[in-house]
Structure 1
Amino acid sequence: MLIAQISDIHLGFEPDNPAEFNRKRLDRTLRALCEMSPRPDILLATGDLADAGDDDLSYRRLQSALSVCPFPVFYCMGNHDNRDLFLQRFKEFRAEDGFIQYAIEDYPVRILVLDTLEEGRHGGGFCETRAAWLRARLAEERTKPTLLVLHHPPIETGLSWMTENPDAEWVRRLHDIVAASDNIVGMVAGHLHRPVVTRWAGTVLMVCPSTAPQVALDLDTIDPEDPDGRPMIVADPPGFALHLWTGDALVSHFDTCEDHTVLARYESALQPLVRMLANERTSD
């Protein structure tokens, strides 16, 4: 199974411009995903779908942009999103106890989509109501490989200003649930506008880069009282992730939507190498 992931689209950053910079970056990313071979089985869009969640126009444009996808698209909420406006536009989804959390079944990997939107906060949240839902879903199936999807990575990242408090109540609540479930094969998130991989609560956490501009890689401390002119947002190319379920493990790849300079192609000169590597694998 091949799972594509995009994140932090931020449509509506230029609300009066239907051909805005972020829409162009999204379209480039979707074109790359739709034209690749093999195509993804599904696409996960992991939050901050709109830049201003109070703008229905952004969700309308998002719906139009994603309609080109020849594979199912599943969404989760980010801190810039608005649940009510999202549900008005994407009527195939619904809220349960006020949160957009749901299970994606019928694939080799079971996928549980979490809602970490905490209104009024840039960072995440995961209250007891949401936690009870996750415990119940995990109790339904204790052996099938399961992937968790959320917007906010519940980790200390080292990034100077885009990070969570690892001792926050919501982080500890989610940690205890994940650590107690040995069939969770991974977690995928967004929010950071950078690719990040770490181990958390006994599983692997992969953070997808954004289709919108990226966050600068800066691991130095930042002083909220001293604007020192450091780069914060950079116009690096839009990125995406591909998560391949091999039947035994989840293998994640990250790429950017840009013109890659090709240094070698699979032509006759490289055929001996390809044959040798294929023979090695089959003879093991």
Structure 2
Amino acid sequence: PPPPRLIHGANAHHSLPHAAWLLGMPEPLEIPTPTGTLDPAALDEALAAEPGPCLVAATAGTTDAGLVDPLDAIADVCARHRAELHVDAAYGGLLVLSPRHRDRLAGLHRAATVTLDLHKLGWQPVAAGLLAVPAATLLAPLAQQADYLNAADDTDAGLPDLLGRSLRTTRRPDVLKIAVTLRALGRDGIAELTDRVCATAHELAALLDAHPRFEVHATPAISTVLFRPTGAGDDDLAALRRRLLTDGTAVLGRATAAGRRWLKATVLNPHTTTKDLEALVALLEGSTHR
């Protein structure tokens, strides 16, 4: 059969088309996402036009604004066309541990594969990423055997090997840090930290929205706040961001939404205080009028 074609929204992370290129898959099909999320109707139309097998990648927590695609509706479309569904939940995946926020990920369980990037909501080293599947048997195609690494008798004796659990033979044991964190904090502990950073992002958005010199793009979907100084042009925003970075006073991202450029503050430190937020707003206010 022909190799599957990847279909994803314009809101997808750059690593998805990059991975398709590395694997020698056909050119991915990118669906426009004018609202910021993947439209199930547009996906349905795209799948109907594809003659071969397809892999659909949805996003739970976009890089720009933390938006979550309508996973349940997308899963319905994939089931109708017999397309496999992957969910990139690198940013928002751990919302499932929070009773307050898990409804945003309704339908996540219907994915064939899910990626989680625990250096965001999870507070782990940058390389601590996970691929989750519904059953361990689905990882069987990854199994490799080399006598000098995982001889059959060693495997039968219970010695662990990574050949079927990682794309790299040698890597840092970041999974140990994940295990220790889960043991120490548990689901409730991680959910509490997640709820805290989400609440802090809403507090920052409220401070900026109430300030006459700033405008906020939208209510934060997770913990990312998009905003811009009123009256500033896109070039002004880019220069402001670089100046703050060069001065060593604040690290802000940038994003494009609704045809405009925005500054991006992603709250990930659960110990951020109201005083910290007020200091950031004061810094921004002073920097925009230098």
TM-score (norm 2): 0.31
Which structure's relative contact order is higher, taking Cα pairs within 8 Å and 6+ residues apart? 1
TM-score (norm 1): 0.31
Could you say which structure has the higher helix fraction?
2
